Chains A and B, each alone.
Chain A
Amino acid sequence: MGHDRSAVNDFAIKIGTVNGTGSASANGLLLQALFRMGIPVSGKNVFPSNIQGLPTWYEIRVNKDGYTARSPDFQLIVAMNPQSLARDIAEVQGGGWLLYDSSKEIEDELRRDDVTFLGIPLARMCTERFDRARERVLMKNIGYVGALSALLDIDMQVVRGMLEEKFSHKPALIDSNFVAINMGAEYAREHWSCPLPIRLQTMDATKDCVMVTGNAATALGCVYAGATVGAWYPITPATSVMDGFKEWCERFRVDKEGGRNRYCILQAEDELAAAGMVIGAGWAGARAFTPTSGPGIDLMSEFIGLAYYAEVPSVFIDVQRTGPSTGMPTRTQQGDLLLTAYASHGDTKHIALYPANPKECFEFAVQSFDLAERFQTPVFLVSDLDIGMNDWMIPRLEWDDAYRPDRGKVLSAEELEQVRSFSRYLDVDGDHIPYRTLPGVHPRGAYFTRGSGHDKYGKYTEDSEAYLEVVDRLAAKIQSAAAHVPAPQVHVANGGSPIGMISIGGCHWAVLEARDELARGGMDVDYLRVRGFPFSDEIARFLDVHETVFVIEQNRDAQLLTMLSQETGCPRDKLVSVRYYGGQPLSKGHVLDGVRPVLAHAVAEAAS
Chain B
Amino acid sequence: MTYIAKPVARHPRMKVNALGLTPRDYEGTMSTLCAGCGHDSVTSALIQAFYELDIEPHRVAKLSGIGCSSKTPAYFIREAHGFNSVHGRMPSIAAGANAANQDLLYVGISGDGDSLSIGLGQLCHAIRRNVNMLYVLENNGVYGLTKGQFSASADVGTRSKGGEINRHGPIDPVNLALSLGATFVARSFSGDKRQLVPILKAGMRHKGFAFVDVISPCVTFNDHKGSTKSYAHTRAHMHEVVETDFVPLRREITAEYGEGATRSVTMHDGSAVRFNKVDADYDPTDRGAVLEHLRQVRNRGEVATGLLYLEETGEDMHAFENTVEGPLVDLPYDVLCPGSAALAELQKEWW
A interface residues (Cβ-Cβ under 8 A, vs B):
35-36, 210-212, 220, 223-224, 226, 228-229, 231, 248, 251-253, 255, 258-266, 268-270, 272-286, 288, 302-303, 306, 396-401, 403-405, 437-452, 459-462
B81-105 to A contact mask, C-beta < 8 Å, 1/0: 1111110010111111111110110
Please report the C-alpha to C-alpha distance between residue A441 and residue B323 in the assembled complex, in whole angstroms: 21
A449: chain B residues at CB < 8 Å are 81-85
Q: Are B97 and A439 in contact (CB under 8 A)?
A: yes
A288: chain B residues at CB < 8 Å are 96, 100
Q: Are A448 and B122 in contact (CB under 8 A)?
A: no
| Given contact pairs A229-B328, A279-B96, A280-B97, A443 touches B58 in the complex (Cβ within 8 A) | yes
The one of A251, A280, A451 that contacts B94, using a Cβ cutoff of 8 Å: A280
Q: Is B339 an interface residue (CB 8 A)?
A: yes
Besides A272-B92, A283-B93, A285-B100, 16 other A-B contacts (C-beta < 8 A): A252-B342, A259-B322, A266-B95, A276-B92, A276-B122, A277-B95, A280-B100, A284-B97, A284-B101, A399-B340, A438-B81, A440-B58, A441-B58, A442-B58, A447-B82, A462-B2
Q: Is B12 an interface residue (CB 8 A)?
A: no
Q: Is B268 an interface residue (CB 8 A)?
A: no
Please report the C-alpha to C-alpha distance between residue A312 and residue B92 in the assembled complex, in whole angstroms: 15
Q: Could you name 20 residue pairs across A and B whose Cβ atoms are closer than 8 Å?
A: A211-B350, A226-B336, A252-B338, A258-B324, A261-B323, A261-B324, A265-B321, A273-B92, A273-B122, A273-B125, A276-B95, A280-B96, A281-B97, A283-B96, A284-B104, A439-B104, A446-B58, A446-B80, A449-B82, A450-B84
B351: chain A residues at CB < 8 Å are 35-36, 210-211
B82, B85, B322: which has the most chain A beta carbons within 10 Å?
B85
Q: Is B9 an interface residue (CB 8 A)?
A: no
Q: Is B253 an interface residue (CB 8 A)?
A: no
| Given contact pairs A262-B331, A266-B96, A284-B100, A224 touches B58 in the complex (Cβ within 8 A) | no
Please report the C-alpha to C-alpha distance between residue A496 and residue B324 in the assembled complex, in whole angstroms: 57
Q: Are A278 and B2 in contact (CB under 8 A)?
A: no
A284, A403, A447, A452: which has the most chain B beta carbons within 10 Å?
A284
A263: chain B residues at CB < 8 Å are 323, 328
Please report the C-alpha to C-alpha distance between residue A448 and residue B83 in the assembled complex, in whole angstroms: 6
Please report the C-alpha to C-alpha distance between residue A87 and residue B343 in the assembled complex, in whole angstroms: 43
B350: chain A residues at CB < 8 Å are 210-212
Q: Are A277 and B96 in contact (CB under 8 A)?
A: yes
B318: chain A residues at CB < 8 Å are 264
Q: Is B54 an interface residue (CB 8 A)?
A: no
Q: Is B270 an interface residue (CB 8 A)?
A: no
Total B residues in contact with A, Cβ cutoff 8 Å: 61
B258-300 to A contact mask, C-beta < 8 Å, 1/0: 0000000000000000000000000000000000000000000
Please report the C-alpha to C-alpha distance between residue A224 and residue B318 in the assembled complex, in whole angstroms: 23
B323: chain A residues at CB < 8 Å are 260-264
Q: Are A261 and B321 in contact (CB under 8 A)?
A: yes
The secondary structure that dominates the B interface is helix
B85: chain A residues at CB < 8 Å are 276, 279, 306, 449, 451
Please report the C-alpha to C-alpha distance between residue A267 and residue B331 in the assembled complex, in whole angstroms: 22
Please report the C-alpha to C-alpha distance between residue A266 and residue B321 in the assembled complex, in whole angstroms: 8
Name which residue of chain B comes closest to A459, CB basis: B3
Please report the C-alpha to C-alpha distance between residue A260 and residue B328 in the assembled complex, in whole angstroms: 12
Q: Are B347 and A264 in contact (CB under 8 A)?
A: no
- Which residues 19-63 of B have a CB within 8 angstroms of A? 57-59, 61
Q: Is B257 an interface residue (CB 8 A)?
A: no
Q: Are B99 and A281 in contact (CB under 8 A)?
A: yes
Please report the C-alpha to C-alpha distance between residue A248 and residue B347 in the assembled complex, in whole angstroms: 12
Q: Are B61 and A268 in contact (CB under 8 A)?
A: no
Please report the C-alpha to C-alpha distance between residue A446 and residue B76 in the assembled complex, in whole angstroms: 12
Q: Is B193 an interface residue (CB 8 A)?
A: no
Q: Is B14 an interface residue (CB 8 A)?
A: no
Q: Are B322 and A210 in contact (CB under 8 A)?
A: no
B324: chain A residues at CB < 8 Å are 255, 258, 260-262
| Given contact pairs A303-B86, A405-B333, A460 touches B96 in the complex (Cβ within 8 A) | no
Q: Are A440 and B331 in contact (CB under 8 A)?
A: no
Please report the C-alpha to C-alpha distance between residue A438 and residue B81 in the assembled complex, in whole angstroms: 8
Q: Are B340 and A286 in contact (CB under 8 A)?
A: no
- Which residues 302-351 of B have a CB within 8 angstroms of A? 317-318, 321-325, 328-329, 331, 333, 335-340, 342-344, 346-347, 350-351
The one of A258, A269, A278, A462 that contacts B125, using a Cβ cutoff of 8 Å: A269
**How many whole Å from B337's CB to the nearest CB in chain A?**
6
Q: Is B236 an interface residue (CB 8 A)?
A: no
Q: Are A440 and B59 in contact (CB under 8 A)?
A: yes
Please report the C-alpha to C-alpha distance between residue A251 and residue B338 in the assembled complex, in whole angstroms: 9
Name which residue of chain A comes closest to B124, CB basis: A269
For the complex of A and B, the 9 pairs showing the least CB-CB separation, nearest first, are A280-B96, A276-B92, A277-B96, A286-B100, A439-B81, A210-B350, A284-B100, A280-B93, A280-B97
Q: Are A228 and B329 in contact (CB under 8 A)?
A: yes
**How many whole Å from B107's CB to the nearest CB in chain A?**
12
The one of B82, B97, B333 that contacts A448, using a Cβ cutoff of 8 Å: B82
A280: chain B residues at CB < 8 Å are 83, 92-100
B58, B94, B99: which has the most chain A beta carbons within 10 Å?
B99
